[in-house]
Amino acid sequence: MNPHFSVILLTTLIGAGQGLFIAVFAAELCALFGLVAPPVAPWFYFYGALLSFGFTLGGLVASIFHLGRPSRGWRSASQWRTSWLSREVIVLPTFMAVALLYAAAHFLNWNGAHGAAEPRIGDPTIVVGLAGVVLALALYVCTGMIYACLPFLREWATPLTVINFTLLGLASGFALAAAATLAQPPLVRVYATCALALTLAGLLGRLASLARNARLRPKSTLQTAIGIKHPRIVQKSKGFTADSFNTREFFHGRTLAFVRSVKWLFLLAGFVLPAALLVLGIAGAPRATVVAAFVVQFVGLIAERWHFFAQANHPQNLYYQAVA
């Protein structure tokens, strides 16, 4: 498939935003049960949720550039009964609204006199935060299922697609939480440790998908594509004198060597380097190390998402695979 940068930005930005919100609310849950010492500063929840909203808003804006007619984009939500894309279109703005509501709840001190540093079961922020976590997880499923539900794109049609979207989004979100929590050292170490565990889990999931896809063999051949049973068929032309929708949208036009280089790039920048930087951050290295871990990982995940789209081989490429 031909990766569009707007879709790459959409999936990576909202994934990090969802993961950040879950990380922020996890801190409030820990405070609820007395697992965080010293207490988390009230401003952290507000700014964390606001940053989560900003990332998801950036992803939403990026998605507009992928639409042929943005004025009709609202129609994409009309098929929610059968379309995972429609469900994503509904869940994403709902999650954004809840994240903004969570930030407002802390800013306006809806919890009352006891303050956000001492949350209680039943507090407005706890209720809103739980709703946000449920929506964030649902959004991971919706985004992953957009691709996993396509049986003819066999590289995507696997539960690993949803699992990897979730793990990589959570890993980048917790790494972002660690980078954004520099004023509270105890939380930095906790978030960096969680980000490291999620990064390693994401690496295992991504390696599993790469190994699975390497074993796939096309179900169709040139013979079945054009209905000719001759044992030897050589294609000399793609059938067009100029580009068409088929040749632009379903093939990236890059060489196999380029695709392989992107694979090694995202494995290094998306997993190995950030994991090493997070280990250093946990061990007490300068706090800028944790910030670098998030930046490097986010760049690596952009490369990972490009490879995810590019690796999917549409069956129509059997016919439109050569240029005269």
Beta strands in 254-311 (DSSP E): none
H or E segment to which residue 163 belongs: helix 159-180
Distance CA 292, CA 277 (A): 7
Has residue 4 got a pLDDT over 90? no
166 falls in which pLDDT band (50, 70, 90)?
very high
Residues across the chain = 324
Q: Which of 194, 45, 62, 58 is closest to 111 using CA atoms?
A: 45
**Domains in the chain, please, with CATH?**
5-318 (1.20.1630.10)
- pLDDT tens, residue by residue, 208-247: 999 999 998 877 777 777 788 888 877 766 666 666 777 7
Please give the average per-residue pLDDT across 301-321, as a whole number: 85
The answer to whether residues 48 and 174 touch, using CB atoms and an 8 Å cutoff, is no
- pLDDT tens, residue by residue, 87-127: 999 999 999 999 999 999 988 887 765 554 566 776 888 99
H or E segment to which residue 54 belongs: helix 42-64
Distance CA 104, CA 47 (A): 10
**Both tokens of residue 159?**
């539960």
